[in-house]
Structure 1
Amino acid sequence: MARQSEYQRLIHEMYNLRRFGIKLELTTMQRMLDALGRPHTRYETIHIAGTNGKGSIATTLATILHAAGYRTGLYTSPHLVTFNERIQINNRPVSNAAVVRACKAVRGLSGDGREPTFFEYTTAMAFYLFAELGVDIAVIETGMGGRFDATNIITPCLSVISNISVEHRMYLGNTLGEIAGEKAGIIKPGVPVVTGARQKPVLDVIKKVAKKQAAPLYRLGGEFRVRRHGDGTFSYHGISHRWDRLRTVLAGGFQMDNAALALAGCELLMASGKPLSEATVRKGLASTRWPARLEIVSDSPTILIDGAHNLQAAKNLAAFLSEQMAGRKITLVAGILDDKPYRAMLRALVPLCDRVILTRAQIGRAIAPEILEREARNLGATRTHVVDRVDKALAFALAHTPKKSGAVCVAGSLYVAGEARHAIKKQGEMQPAI
């Protein structure tokens, strides 16, 4: 009990670090890691940036590497329910005791006159634990951007840039080209880079940076591609391999593109001497799980949870609802953070829904649900409701949605998705569809 109390106290202290905001520099991270003995240099790393899909790609690569026998670390953000989800070993969150050890190791190490941000602190913790727990290779997802992201202290064996759209303008820039420049900051000298970006201004920037760094560049739709089949499988036409009739359990057609980026990464790892077989790649791909991304957690009634935390993700969710849930009476439970284009996100989703329930996650950056409700009504929604807490909003949705002909869709924020998953699991109602 004492250990749990210490864990909760330290987690609370870390969350309070949010007040220091985002600092676009790497000096603090460098000094912290130097003080820890440079743990990030004791294992190989793969670095992943992008707007959408980077978590899916990171998890897929980590799962494949684990299936191949590597002791694999995975660092992603944000978490859905517990902080430990951010730092995983062999696809399992680290223990509370490990979090406590890492907290104590990192505490007070900034050494340059300012406190580290929450993300700097947790990144240092992850790098420390990966070394302490003896991983062979760690898959690292950026938090935001790339060039000055806290994770960009590593020199990886592979870089991946999933895709790029306009986001975080205050920090990354107002144009696709400016944002691409920040994301491309993860490209290191001579390190191969894989990208799913297709827009010309984005590719122009990535090509320029890759050329400057003498980093071999491999593009989805260029050096490798996918072909979708009607039975839900796809074929991968790769850099030097062709793998037919592959299957990913992650829902949504865009996940095949994400899988292709992971597979191209696997090819490059194979070329560098990593013993990854086709059988291992297939096994890892088919067993990858990534919660709260088009995740059906119950089929009686149907409950779909999707983070859909930005405009492109909302559009992807809308496409899934149109294709897979046509004719269903959909109840949308939505909460959105204040740095997101909530009007455009609601415009993508509200017209597809029979009822709309607006809520908010328990985080200071959540938009007031009353503001979201006004926008939903402006979009023509006649059955709208405000329910301030996610668990209560979900209960209300289930009580007002037909079990057989309806479906509940929770979306708009990974924080909302996490609170919904926690509420369902707590009630013992989560029944993953096979």
Structure 2
Amino acid sequence: MSYQESLDFLYQALPMFQRVGAPAFKKDLTNTLQLCERLGNPHQAFKSIHIAGTNGKGSSAHALASVLQEAGYKTGLYTSPHLKSFRERIKINGQEIPETEVCTFVDEQREFLLTLKPSFFEMTVAMAFSYFAREKVDIAVIETGMGGKFDSTNVLLPVLCLITNIGLDHVQFLGDTLEKIAGEKAGIIKEKVPVIIGQTQEETTAVFQQAAREKNAPLIFAEQYVEVLPKGWKQAADMETLARYEIREADGSTWEVSMDLLGDYQAKNLPGILLASTRLNEMGYTISSGQLLQGLAKIRENTGLKGRWHILEKKPLVVCDTAHNADGFKLIIEQLHRLPHRNLYLILGMVQDKDQGQVLALLPKEARYIFCQADQPRSLPAEALKEKAALYGLQGTCIADVNTAIAYAKKNAGTDDLIFVGGSTFVVAEIKEL
């Protein structure tokens, strides 16, 4: 099979949550275990860090991978969903899995896949684990998909677990309270494996404490050890814009770190990232302070991460972000309000199987809205989104294609205006400039 034929097989022959939603979601690890057994249990052949959470797990995974790369470790990275290319999901030292590896996996496993009928995600996890094992990575950073306990990645026995935060997302699958969702995410906690909680939340603390006790797992609430204070942006020598943070440790010492991820919400991810780096050092990995700082300053360069407060243009300022739930958008809106601007344009597209009202209720009524939709089966039609937005006092126009919408906004905006593009990962994925 050619690479395109292999992709066609993966997308068309197997259920894929990214495209079809609920029918692809299963609370069962049987298929993944059978796939791994057929492949020689590759998940047992490499060390790993397992990351779950509602928001921030992707950024945290890329940040830790970047730090480990700077420290000289051959580092695997598995994340989802992808934005531009399927191969973004599986990387070693920032390099995407080669097309030939994807073709070989499909060619060799095609008949078994047709018989087993795993989900797209189950198959992709198995492909990643097989690739990491064969390439003998020193360590792999593995991001869960939607949940935790029944997520396909949860066949791992990692050296460290990180849970970033808990929010109300995918409630139809994971539960309709923070406590229920935390219970699902806590399912990644393993016997005697240290677990770091990146963001302390009153509603979920007891859930994690109970899960850790049951597994005899050392539990670390990162915010008890470090406080992160945003200090604004700075221009690096190579003209790269970096976000500065002051780190205050429990013993009173302070130091500064810079990240090339510019979203203010990274301040909530940093405690977990920093404590994970500290814990890895305690476990025998060697990460110097200089390597930590370099890794955090070069996340995008080292890993190829896109779509997190990604600046597309500066005059007018055009920013996109993959945030797609209420917790994520609260922080996005706060940052938009802090940026100096005259008029605010919001180019917005969403999926059908989310509670759009929770996000729409947060959005500023004075903004100029352009409603769009991704070319994707789960997308909410732009006209339907416009009608729903009107119920919240949000007015605008419909331009279905996101790139046409961006061109329209830039044509009408002044150089001191601000344009934001988001609402759905799929909308951001279709931006040509990304």
Output the TM-score relative to the length of structure 1: 0.90
Residue 187 of structure 2 is aligned with which of 185, 188, 195?
185
Deviations 1:269-298, CA, capped at 9 Å, x for gaps: 000000111111011011112311111121
Number of the residue aligned with 1:37: 40
Residue 311 of structure 1 is aligned with which of 326, 333, 352?
326
Residue 291 of structure 1 is aligned with which of 306, 316, 328?
306
In 1, the alpha carbon distance for the partners of 2:4 and 2:320 equals 27
Number of the residue aligned with 1:429: none
Number of the residue aligned with 1:401: 413
Number of the residue aligned with 2:206: 204
Deviation at 1:241, TM superposition (A): 11
**Contact in 2 for aligned 1:241/1:267 (Cα 8 Å):** no
Deviation at 1:127, TM superposition (A): 0.8
**Contact in 2 for aligned 1:248/1:259 (Cα 8 Å):** no
- Any residues of structure 2 matched to 1:237-256 within 5 Å, and which? 237=248, 244-256=255-267
Residue 359 of structure 2 is aligned with which of 345, 348, 358?
345
Number of the residue aligned with 2:162: 160
Number of the residue aligned with 1:432: none
Residue aligned with 1:332, SS: strand
**Within the alignment, does 1:300 sit opposite 2:315 as a pair?**
yes
Change (3 A) 1:90 1:239: farther
Change (3 A) 1:117 1:396: same
**Within the alignment, does 1:96 sit opposite 2:99 as a pair?**
yes
Number of the residue aligned with 2:402: 390
In 2, the alpha carbon distance for the partners of 1:145 and 1:263 equals 23
The letter of the residue matching 1:261 is: G
In 2, the alpha carbon distance for the partners of 1:200 and 1:210 equals 16
In 2, the alpha carbon distance for the partners of 1:130 and 1:215 equals 26
The letter of the residue matching 1:59 is: H
In 1, the alpha carbon distance for the partners of 2:246 and 2:153 equals 33
**Contact in 1 for aligned 2:199/2:268 (Cα 8 Å):** no
Deviations 1:83-118, CA, capped at 9 Å, x for gaps: 11111111122222222123334434459x641001
Deviations 1:283-337, CA, capped at 9 Å, x for gaps: 1011112311111121133210111211111111101101114x33121111101
Aligned length: 414
CA RMSD, Structure 1 to Structure 2 (Å): 2.0
The runs of 4+ residues in structure 1 deviating greater than 4 Å are: 237-243
Residue aligned with 1:151, SS: helix
In 2, the alpha carbon distance for the partners of 1:273 and 1:240 equals 23
In 1, the alpha carbon distance for the partners of 2:108 and 2:169 equals 34
The letter of the residue matching 1:292 is: G
In 2, the alpha carbon distance for the partners of 1:244 and 1:366 equals 44
**Within the alignment, does 1:332 sit opposite 2:383 as a pair?**
no
Residue 380 of structure 1 is aligned with which of 378, 393, 410?
393
Deviations 1:358-391, CA, capped at 9 Å, x for gaps: 1111111111111111133333334x11112222
**Within the alignment, does 1:266 sit opposite 2:248 as a pair?**
no
- Any residues of structure 2 matched to 1:411-422 within 5 Å, and which? 411-420=422-431
Residue 235 of structure 1 is aligned with which of 233, 238, 246?
246
The letter of the residue matching 2:203 is: P
Unaligned runs of 5+ in 2: 234-242
Residue aligned with 1:298, SS: strand
Output the TM-score relative to the length of structure 2: 0.90
Deviation at 1:238, TM superposition (A): 5.0
Change (3 A) 1:352 1:30: farther
Deviation at 1:239, TM superposition (A): 7.8
Number of the residue aligned with 1:424: 433
**Within the alignment, does 1:55 sit opposite 2:58 as a pair?**
yes
Deviation at 1:347, TM superposition (A): 2.5
**Contact in 2 for aligned 1:35/1:109 (Cα 8 Å):** no
**Within the alignment, does 1:70 sit opposite 2:73 as a pair?**
yes
Residue aligned with 1:116, SS: coil
Deviation at 1:350, TM superposition (A): 4.1
Residue aligned with 1:205, SS: helix
In 1, the alpha carbon distance for the partners of 2:176 and 2:331 equals 23
**Contact in 2 for aligned 1:142/1:151 (Cα 8 Å):** yes
The letter of the residue matching 1:236 is: I
Deviation at 1:200, TM superposition (A): 2.2
Change (3 A) 1:352 1:65: farther
Alignment identity in percent? 36
Unaligned runs of 5+ in 1: 426-434
**Contact in 2 for aligned 1:311/1:341 (Cα 8 Å):** no
Residue 372 of structure 2 is aligned with which of 359, 367, 370?
359
Deviations 1:129-149, CA, capped at 9 Å, x for gaps: 112222111100000110000
**Within the alignment, does 1:281 sit opposite 2:283 as a pair?**
no
Change (3 A) 1:392 1:377: same
Deviation at 1:253, TM superposition (A): 2.7
Number of the residue aligned with 1:175: 177
